A and B are shown apart, each in its own frame.
Chain A
Amino acid sequence: MQRPPGAAASPIAIELIGINKHFGPVHANKDIHLVIRRGTVHGIVGENGAGKSTLMSILYGFYTADSGEIRVNGQPHAITDSRHALALGIGMVHQHFMLVDNFTVLENVVLGAEDSPLLNRTLEHARTQLAALARDYELEVDPDTLVENLSVGQQQRVEILKALYRGADTLILDEPTGVLTPPEADHLFRILKMLRDEGKTIILITHKLREIMAITDEVSVMRQGAMVRTLTTAETSPPELAELMVGRRVLLRVEKGPANPGKVMLEVENLVVTDDFRIPRVKNVSFSVRAGEIVGIAGVAGNGQSELLESVSGMRDQQSGVIRLNGKPLSLEGDDGAARAREAGLAHVPEDRLRMGLITNFQEWENSILGYQDRYGKGLSLDIDKAKEDARAYVEKFDIRPPTIDLKTANFSGGNQQKIVLAREMERNPDVLIVGQPTRGVDIGAIEFIHNQIIKMRDAGKAILLVSVELDEIRSLSDRILVLFDGEIVGEADPAVATEGELGLLMAGVHAEPAPAAGPGTLPAHETAVEKTLVERGPDSSSLKDSQQ
């Protein structure tokens, strides 16, 4: 491991020496050495499954390393649990918030750090502390609101307050911007810079290169469980980091010709959809998708995408509005609406394959017919032979590994699981294909394949609705972009012309003014449209198997 040349002589806050961690047969952290200096923002970057979260979880006491040493401020410590880590001043802001939704902000902050067995005094003390922290670091949140009523950005602030309340000197943030709009992300970076300037140490785990470049002082790259290199941010660049992350030159551009849109296949008119708590999530949305075109819906997670997909695919009843397929209105009421959607010629690759699109305990061939089981066999009987035959064909065509159709689906990697879903939905020759987060938790080789498959479907004349929180994916695949914010379509853009800045503003609910002809927008200057080299993927970690393609 290389020390960055001419590193600042800042004292070392945290040092990890020879850290190893196994989860069963998986070697998640391989002999990691890492030096983090006090008063810096130190980035840890790597692909899904590279081992970043595991490493930080060890530092935070959530896991224990199999071997190796941790030194905090020069002293070795065996960090056995989170309490110990907190006592050493190490606090963590998790990717999926560790908050109790039906508690207030105050109750969440004091949980586990109460002064006494009775709550009254504790809460009063916390209230004063929070007010002080809010002043110092722009972390304003109403202490008496229930967490479930806060925005995602505000919830993240509560997470940070929790750590600061406990006197953390070192803050670890795990993929913090995955659920934030660009302006919220900027605000977060401001907060982090303020904390750093006060002498706190920030460790930022992310797979987003632009964040690394924007805010870190040093960056360490991990790949497949090992620490590859540590560099000074000012002396490196996204292409170099990308190459270190993946281990080879990365040039990822989807090859696609111009679109040739035909007639309107999917029409959504004045759609209103409520969620399980009767709150409207899709508010009067209208759009159409033509045969042979890809319409991409951009937006930060939680703005109604899930409800939109569920409603168009028949999984969720709509409050009002019309959905037409090939001119005919669809009636998708009842909890078997999805069957009727399929009959009408719609296929659906869901956002969350593990929760919705696959039954992990089923064998691979059974998942190959999930949703289409009624087409196999006459009457009540299931034609298992035909199902297996089709499954074998898909496995070959989509290069699904291992090619064992009897194997339980849980044993396949994320990328292969996604291929099972794609094969199933694409090979039915649907007229309309709706796809949610197609490359979430999928590794780079499979991503290229999946993107090419989607383009192929488009060129074969299918109408494709693509929903993704990864703006780069939307921009690279779509022929037309619609931006969804708070359940409404707030703008339409031409991917060839629209900039990240414009789209970012729309995604944040700000109505964009026409952008200057050539200008950087609100994001750092080094980003240009031409130099895009890496398609970024979703923040969710998946099994380590992904990195072993």
Chain B
Amino acid sequence: MDLYLNLIYTLASTVRLSVPIILACLAGLYSERAGIVDIGLEGKLLVSAFGAAAAAAVLGSAWIGLLVGILCALAFSVIHGIASINLKGNQTISGVALNFLAAGLTVFLGNSWFNQGGFTPLLKGSQRFLPIIWPCADQVKDVPIIGPIYANLLSGHSILVYFTFLVVPFTAWLLFRTRFGLRLRAVGENPKAVDTAGISVTRLRYQALIITAVLSGIGGSYLSIAQGANFVNNMSNGRGYIALAALIFAKWKPWPALWTCLLFAFLDALQLRLQGIKFPIIGEIPVQAIQVLPYLLTIILLAGFIGRAVAPKASGIPYTKER
């Protein structure tokens, strides 16, 4: 197949693969900017994937599935909120524990309810989010250069994909042009300043956690009812952690976060394409070597070979009114 077409297909694949990472990353952005460390993004992706797939299978509608997925993520966010905000517990431990809980609970419930070894039933038709084909895509696709871009890269994604790419500019606007965004950023830097200005630190942080839940809930649901057609064990496969690394690398800013997540997704898409291909001299690259690339890149980013990042000042520190 010609190289250009290959590239377009890879890019289209990148776009689709990037959705859960971007959403998880932005979800983490809101939490961290508000001063809450959320390692539990992975768990939220997983539970919402499970919830969405289970609900869509049983109740027959993708939209209901999405709603249930979001609610599952919300439940986890609330637990994290109670542990971190009200009980002032260790946020890292809470996140890790919730990830374990998600892993165990999803398979356990999946098995109990559907008896398919942890999988949910395969979804058909309107139980999933189907690709939206843009007008005339089929006619246009053979037009040189622009054709494939229109037909494969822009058209043909499910609605959740388009939504994801709109959330990025929305986030940038919300954080930097609105009163809410100002207060959110303030509470992550100096919660005392916010408290003495008469604004509730607790309420702001919970609001951030709710946004986190909604975004990660959509991201997780996407995995099982848009990208895939059911829930599979351990479906998120580390994306939550990759999203966290992307967030740190992007220095907690929305647009850099987008580019970083796209980079990861590109590697992921590449990895799928390169399997089984024989290269000159090297021969076939072992499948593990390609699969390890996203994780390796994350480690390299975290090792800060690309500059040091300064987190929001109050990140991870529970807020108490001291004497």
Query: What number of A-B contacts does a CB cutoff of 8 Å give?
Result: 77
B149 to chain A, nearest CB (A): 36
CA distance A61 to B197 in the complex (A): 11
B124 to chain A, nearest CB (A): 43
Contacting pair A100 B198 (CB below 8 A): no
Contacting pair A62 B198 (CB below 8 A): no
Residues on the A chain within 8 Å of B178, using CB: 117-119
B299 within 8 A of A: no
CA distance A94 to B190 in the complex (A): 14
Q: Which residue of B lies closest to A63 (CB)?
A: B321
B313 within 8 A of A: yes
| Max count, chain B CB within 10 A of own CB: residue among A63, A98, A541 | A98
Contacting pair B189 A112 (CB below 8 A): no
A98 to chain B, nearest CB (A): 4
Chief secondary structure at chain B's binding surface: helix
B203 within 8 A of A: no
B265 within 8 A of A: no
CA distance A110 to B183 in the complex (A): 10
Contacting pair B197 A114 (CB below 8 A): no
B186's partner among A63, A86, A111 (CB-CB below 8 A) is: A111
Q: Assuming A98-B192, A98-B193, A116-B179, is B198 touching A82 (CB within 8 A)?
A: yes
A73 within 8 A of B: no
Residues on the B chain within 8 Å of A420, using CB: none
Contacting pair B194 A101 (CB below 8 A): no
CA distance A92 to B192 in the complex (A): 13
B179 to chain A, nearest CB (A): 4
CA distance A54 to B323 in the complex (A): 8
A98's partner among B180, B185, B190 (CB-CB below 8 A) is: B190
CA distance A28 to B323 in the complex (A): 10
Chain A, 98-131, CB within 8 A of any chain B CB: 98-103, 107-108, 110-114, 116-120, 122
Residues on the A chain within 8 Å of B189, using CB: 100-103
Contacting pair B196 A114 (CB below 8 A): no
Q: Which residue of A lies closest to B180 (CB)?
A: A117
CA distance A83 to B195 in the complex (A): 9
Q: Assuming A100-B193, A102-B189, is B177 touching A111 (CB within 8 A)?
A: no
Q: Which residue of A lies closest to B177 (CB)?
A: A119
CA distance A259 to B24 in the complex (A): 67
B59 within 8 A of A: no
B303 within 8 A of A: no
B61 to chain A, nearest CB (A): 34
Q: Which residue of B lies closest to A82 (CB)?
A: B198
CA distance A352 to B240 in the complex (A): 39
Contacting pair B180 A111 (CB below 8 A): no
A217 within 8 A of B: no
CA distance A116 to B180 in the complex (A): 10
* Chain A 131-166 interface mask (CB, 8 Å, partner B; 1/0): 000000000000000000000000000000010000
Contacting pair A81 B198 (CB below 8 A): yes
Interface residues on B, range: 20 to 34
CA distance A214 to B222 in the complex (A): 68
CA distance A98 to B194 in the complex (A): 8
| Max count, chain B CB within 10 A of own CB: residue among A53, A60, A85, A114 | A114
Residues on the A chain within 8 Å of B183, using CB: 111-112
Contacting pair B193 A82 (CB below 8 A): no
B193 to chain A, nearest CB (A): 4
Chain A, 200-231, CB within 8 A of any chain B CB: none
CA distance A92 to B198 in the complex (A): 12
Contacting pair B179 A118 (CB below 8 A): yes
CA distance A119 to B182 in the complex (A): 8
Q: Assuming A82-B198, A98-B192, A101-B190, is B323 touching A111 (CB within 8 A)?
A: no
Residues on the A chain within 8 Å of B197, using CB: 82, 98, 111-113, 162
Residues on the A chain within 8 Å of B179, using CB: 114, 116-119, 122
Chain B, 264-323, CB within 8 A of any chain A CB: 313, 321, 323
| Max count, chain B CB within 10 A of own CB: residue among A84, A117, A120, A544 | A117
CA distance A114 to B323 in the complex (A): 28
Residues on the B chain within 8 Å of A543, using CB: 323
B199 within 8 A of A: yes
CA distance A56 to B192 in the complex (A): 16
Contacting pair B196 A82 (CB below 8 A): yes
Chain B, 137-183, CB within 8 A of any chain A CB: 177-180, 182-183
Q: Which residue of B lies closest to A86 (CB)?
A: B198
B199's partner among A53, A54, A112 (CB-CB below 8 A) is: A112
B35 to chain A, nearest CB (A): 12
Residues on the A chain within 8 Å of B190, using CB: 98-101
CA distance A108 to B186 in the complex (A): 9
A66 to chain B, nearest CB (A): 15
* Chain B 109-144 interface mask (CB, 8 Å, partner A; 1/0): 000000000000000000000000000000000000
CA distance A543 to B185 in the complex (A): 31
Residues on the B chain within 8 Å of A94, using CB: 196
Q: Assuming A82-B197, A98-B197, A101-B190, is B182 touching A111 (CB within 8 A)?
A: yes
A100's partner among B177, B180, B186, B323 (CB-CB below 8 A) is: B186
CA distance A347 to B189 in the complex (A): 36
CA distance A114 to B189 in the complex (A): 18
Q: Assuming A83-B198, A113-B197, is B177 touching A107 (CB within 8 A)?
A: no
6 extra interface residue pairs, beta carbon distance < 8 Å, beyond A83-B199, A98-B192, A111-B199: A60-B196, A61-B198, A82-B198, A99-B190, A103-B186, A114-B182
Q: Can you list 15 pairs linking A and B with CB atoms under 8 Å apart?
A: A62-B195, A62-B321, A63-B321, A82-B198, A83-B198, A103-B185, A103-B186, A112-B194, A112-B197, A112-B198, A112-B199, A114-B179, A118-B177, A118-B179, A543-B323
A-B interface, 3 closest residue pairs, ranked by CB to CB distance from nearest: A112-B197, A83-B198, A98-B193
A interface with B by C-beta (< 8 Å): 23, 28, 53-54, 60-63, 81-86, 92, 94, 98-103, 107-108, 110-114, 116-120, 122, 162, 541, 543-544
